[in-house]
Amino acid sequence: MSTYFSDKTFKFLRALARNNNRPWFEEHRKDYEAQLKGPFQRLIADLEPDLLAISPHYRADPRGNGGSLFRIHRDTRFSNDKTPYKTWGGARFFHARSKQVPAPSFYLHVQPGNSFLGGGIWHPEPDVQRRIREFLVDNPAGWQSVKTPAFRRRYEFWGDTLVRPPRGFPAEHPLIEDLKRKDFTAGYALDDEIVVGPRLRQAVASGFKGVAPLVDYLCAALELEF
């Protein structure tokens, strides 16, 4: 078993949250690369066979640019918050066709006291939302096979929901609460001890395998291979 992150990872992220500016970051860039970026890239690479065992159509890409790892730099163009850096690390394990069409993904988030993993599709465009909702109406049994009691005990559905039923869907539909979803994602929190411990890879692989039925269902809704 390998250890990827450490208490130094969280120490760096906490310090970055207190000193979120370019001069401080450049002074501590080596810490970022040694404590967060490098370990995350190694974890992503090691997760590749685990992900392929779940689906041959999903990718664990350890490249520093254009791969699974999110950039540390924030996009501040449309935000009132102009701090330049994210105070967390994240990786998206994406569908092979995700650059051509919208697709669900698996996700891992590393942040002191707020680490988590999950899967699904986050903030899809309205036309994608409608396709998923229509598929849910046409395939309710498949949706219920995703939302088993065991699944609900382990995973929490996250994201925004509509207050009223979406246009074109009756309020009395038995799955109306799911049809109101704007995001179709589920996951659970990871304790800091897991993140810095030797069983992180196994924990992430297990979490991704468990949430795979949701990702599979969403792929079917969007006519993607799984």
Percent of the chain with pLDDT over 70: 100
- Asked if residue 1 has pLDDT above 90, the reply is no
Residue 189 pLDDT level (bands cut at 50, 70, 90): very high
- State pLDDT tens for residues 119-171: 999 999 999 999 999 999 999 999 999 999 999 999 999 999 999 999 999 99
Q: What pLDDT is recorded for position 186? A: 98
What lies within 8 Å, CB to CB, of 135 at 6+ separation is 220, 221
Helix (H, G, I), strand (E, B) or coil at 189: strand
* Average pLDDT along the chain: 96
First to last CA, the chain: 29
pTM: 0.94
* Of 65 and 188, the one with more pLDDT: 188
Q: Tell me how many helices (H) and strands (E) the chain has.
A: 10, 6
Q: What pLDDT is recorded for position 81? A: 79
Tokens, residue 3: 């250890």
Produce one character per residue of 171-209: b if its CB has 16 or more CB atoms within 10 Å, e if not. eebebeebbbbebbbbbeebebebbbbeebbebbbebbb
d(CA 216, CA 224): 9
Instruction: Scan for tokens 């229509």, then name that residue.
Output: 134
Residue 76 pLDDT level (bands cut at 50, 70, 90): confident
Q: What mean pLDDT comes out for the span 23-33?
A: 98
Q: What mean pLDDT comes out for the span 19-35?
A: 97
Tokens, residue 37: 């970026």
Fold for 7-221, please state it. BirA Bifunctional Protein; domain 2 (3.30.930)
Q: What pLDDT is recorded for position 78? A: 82
